[in-house]
C-alpha cells in the first residue's frame, strides 16, 4: 500500500473530506488530523510541500481556500510506480515532473542492474531522488483539475455540498491506497451518468 490517507482541509483547519486507506480508530484519526493540520497550516509559502510526521510523509498543496493533504508511507515506492504506469496507460504523455521521473527511474534501474548494484543500492539511489513526493504532488493537481472540470473552479462549498461526489471521484482514482485511474474522462463519466439519471 502507498497512500494511507487523503484530507481536504480549509484555512481554519476544519476537515472537509477525509479518506483513509488503513484502519484507524476515530480517536486516532482525530489526533492524527489535528497534528498534521496544525503542522501544515503553520508553514509559510516559502517552505516546501513535504512534511514528515510519525511514519508518514505528508505531501500537501494549497488551492484557493483548501489544503489537499496526502499521507503516504515514508519508505514505500509502490505508489509512484502505480502512478507512472497509470499515466502511461491513460495516454497522458505530457512531459510533467512525474513522467520525467519515470523515465529517469527506468534509466537508473537499467544502469544499476547492468553494473550489478542490486536492489538495495538501486532503491537507495531512487530514495535520494525522492520522486514519490513529486508524483503525489502531480496526483493532487490531477485531483483538483478533475474536480474543477466537474464543479467548475472547485471551492470549499462544492466539497461540503457534494461530499458524495468528491468521495466518488477519489474512489475512482485510488483503490486500496494505489492510484488506479488518471484519466479525467474515465473518472468523471460515472458521475455524469448519475447526474443524467437523477
> What domains are there in the chain, each with its CATH number?
3-77+129-197 (3.30.450.60)
- Least Cα distance to 100 among 79, 71, 80, 70 occurs for 80
* H or E segment to which residue 145 belongs: helix 131-151
Measured at the alpha carbon of residue 143, what is the angle toward residues 136 and 147, in degrees to the nearest 5?
165
| Predicted TM-score (pTM) of this structure | 0.73
List pLDDT tens digits, range 20-57.
999 999 999 999 999 999 998 898 878 878 888 888 88
Query: How much is the pLDDT for 99?
Result: 59
Band (195; pLDDT cuts 50, 70, 90): confident
Amino acid at each position: 500500500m502507498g497512500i494511507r490517507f487523503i484530507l481536504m482541509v480549509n484555512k481554519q483547519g476544519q476537515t472537509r473530506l477525509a479518506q483513509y486507506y488503513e484502519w484507524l480508530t476515530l480517536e486516532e484519526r482525530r489526533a492524527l488530523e489535528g497534528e498534521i493540520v496544525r503542522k501544515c497550516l503553520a508553514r509559510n509559502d516559502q517552505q516546501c510541500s513535504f512534511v514528515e510526521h510519525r511514519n508518514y510523509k505528508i505531501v500537501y498543496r494549497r488551492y484557493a481556500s483548501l489544503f489537499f493533504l496526502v499521507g503516504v508511507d515514508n519508505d514505500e515506492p509502490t505508489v509512484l510506480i502505480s502512478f507512472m504506469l497509470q499515466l502511461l496507460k491513460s495516454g497522458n504523455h505530457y512531459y510533467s515532473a512525474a513522467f520525467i521521473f519515470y523515465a529517469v527511474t527506468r534509466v537508473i534501474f537499467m544502469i544499476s542492474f547492468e553494473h550489478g548494484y542490486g536492489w538495495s543500492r538501486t532503491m537507495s539511489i531512487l530514495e535520494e531522488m525522492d520522486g514519490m513526493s513529486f508524483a503525489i504532488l502531480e496526483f493532487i493537481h490531477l485531483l483538483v483539475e478533475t474536480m474543477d472540470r466537474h464543479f467548475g473552479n472547485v471551492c470549499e462549498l462544492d466539497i461540503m455540498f457534494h461530499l458524495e461526489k468528491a468521495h466518488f471521484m477519489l474512489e475512482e482514482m485510488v483503490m486500496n491506497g494505489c492510484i488506479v485511474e488518471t484519466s479525467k474522462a474515465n473518472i468523471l463519466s460515472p458521475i455524469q451518468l448519475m447526474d443524467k439519471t437523477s
